[in-house]
Structure 1
């Protein structure tokens, strides 16, 4: 697991230090419909239910529109039933290749597709799954993000997980040009519910935080075989942009809303979350506190001492309090209007980045 940390942190420091991008104020959202029949997991995406499920928007660079558009298109779909959350993805790829065949290898060292899932949206206790074109899978559980000390639990497994990959072409054969590869996951609710702190399977209208990532390496041929171009970094293409090269910022992930309506049977609107501006503001406080501590060697004890960006759209009139506590702080945001306070709740965040509803 130290390889994972060593790989990510330098890229994060470069991106945040340059301050070149910000995540969108409103993450992307998707309505997942409930399929009346189980999906056959073979990677081919030819089940009738998939035909009624919309594609996500095309993936973008992880930093957003400050970076060039991805060279190859990537899109995803979601469905669910009482046993599984289903995820499918289509990755355009003129040369499909892979090298890793051992379960729980560091899959992003190949071109891969990744799922990140935080059921209750508190930034802690989330899941990560990665897969390459050889259908080699890596599953991880993170009690908290790497920025807060992690570490990932590599020994965590998903009993009952089903995965399938279908290559439209010939894998590891540079003599021809491929169309790409498609992948399917069936993630059992029994396992996803272990750290969800909410119903799993979800109820109609429930929303979870989710994001998808694609790691793509530039390649060259060496003795008729593919290999990564030495000295080049990977591309990171995602569904909901993060603003920095760091997938482990759950506050920027997208939103999936679960609907009992069958795929293709009707349109369901994505509900706005009235607490999102409040939680987003608290995460602005969290990042500003980290910057303040890096500069001053201590946490700020009043909001006025922090350099905060413009507040998120829709943020209600509120009271923001900072309170020192051993080894850290607690920032609490309370809407001033009693009706809004009741509907939205009073939220807090501390040095561990965990969002809590008081």
Structure 2
């Protein structure tokens, strides 16, 4: 790839979706998902490899439940595991150096100003705010914290003890809307019928017992640990979680809300604008300028549902297309920001 190019995910646009029901009671956190609080929530599908079907299915099951109320967005995760270990104890450490569980949230779906949260089996957390995806220049704000965050971990087995009868570890997280709404549309928490973009990742390292401890398995060719596995709820089509446009749809409903979700056609329009954004960025990387010619970005045998307008300068571009009802337009620019006007 040329310098400045961004990989275009080679995946059908079919993000997972989840009906997130209103909680019927308050949560007392202990890390367990088998208590009455979670009985009204369905499990997500089992996690898959981050690249999707082109990679083998994960050897260990991971799944999540979600609920919400007026105060919190609740997450419960179950990670089947026969090696339960963690080393990092300081908040805002780079938690994925351990096996971990991660939550990503983009409240308004514009791919800018979104949240990342990571937790290990020691209940050590890392929470940060991303101004933009790394491909668009970031940066991450490590000093940002989820004020009022509540977390708990339950271990079915023994932590950091090779040979123990380990079955799984589970996690409960309660994130207050008072922090999450910071990046939401109109800085409001969701209402019934609305959706936010969310995804989850599990980082799993190859480990072995050495001197009574778990150690990462070293690749003899490189002298470094083998690369970690990345298992996710909604596949990304590439090894990069920071493509918020590919995250799943979490739909907020009442206790007896609808059981299904149909992807709005406007979301398809946004996805086609995203693909043109990748290609316009990559055209610049190859040619040193942007192009206003759609034929330079779309192959002859490709079918597109939109007829976009493209405007460029020497360093900027904006691509737009009408919404489904024709009363507004969706726009995307050179740094990936997408909006409606």
Instruction: Identify the TM-score tier after normalising by the shorter chain.
Output: over 0.9
Distance 1:39 1:200, change over 3 A: farther
Q: Secondary structure at the match of 2:326?
A: helix
Aligned residues: 331
Q: Superposed, which structure 2 residues align to 1:34-113 within 5 Å? A: 34-113=22-101
Q: Structure 1 stretches (4+) deviating beyond 4 angstroms?
A: none
Distance 1:171 1:24, change over 3 A: farther
Q: Superposed, which structure 2 residues align to 1:167-178 within 5 Å? A: 167-178=155-166
In structure 1, C-alpha distance between the alignment counterparts of 2:86 and 2:298, rounded to whole Å: 45
Aligned partners of 2:48 and 2:58 also within 8 Å = yes
1:69-119 Cα distance to aligned partner (Å, 9 max, x none): 111010001000000000111000011000001000000000000000000
Q: 135, 142, 147: which is aligned to 2:135?
A: 147
Q: Superposed, which structure 2 residues align to 1:113-262 within 5 Å? A: 113-198=101-186, 200-230=188-218, 231=224, 232-260=226-254, 262=255
Distance 1:296 1:90, change over 3 A: same
Q: What is the match of residue 221 of structure 2?
A: none
- The Cα RMSD (Å) is 2.0
In structure 2, C-alpha distance between the alignment counterparts of 1:300 and 1:311, rounded to whole Å: 20
Q: 247, 265, 274: which is aligned to 1:274?
A: 265
In structure 1, C-alpha distance between the alignment counterparts of 2:183 and 2:271, rounded to whole Å: 23
Aligned partners of 1:83 and 1:201 also within 8 Å = no
TM-score, length basis structure 2: 0.92
**TM-superposed deviation, 1:289:** 1.2
Q: Secondary structure at the match of 2:269?
A: helix
Q: What is the match of residue 306 of structure 1?
A: 297
Q: 290, 314, 325: which is aligned to 1:340?
A: 325
Aligned partners of 1:162 and 1:187 also within 8 Å = yes
**TM-superposed deviation, 1:137:** 0.2
Give the unaligned 5+ runs of structure 1. 1-12
1:242-272 Cα distance to aligned partner (Å, 9 max, x none): 0010000000000000001x2xx56532242
Aligned partners of 1:330 and 1:351 also within 8 Å = yes
Aligned partners of 2:290 and 2:313 also within 8 Å = no
In structure 2, C-alpha distance between the alignment counterparts of 1:311 and 1:143, rounded to whole Å: 33
In structure 1, C-alpha distance between the alignment counterparts of 2:57 and 2:16, rounded to whole Å: 17
Q: Secondary structure at the match of 1:280?
A: helix
In structure 2, C-alpha distance between the alignment counterparts of 1:267 and 1:320, rounded to whole Å: 34
Aligned partners of 2:152 and 2:171 also within 8 Å = yes
**TM-superposed deviation, 1:43:** 0.5
**TM-superposed deviation, 1:224:** 1.4
1:163-202 Cα distance to aligned partner (Å, 9 max, x none): 0100110010002231110001000000001111246431
**TM-superposed deviation, 1:291:** 1.9
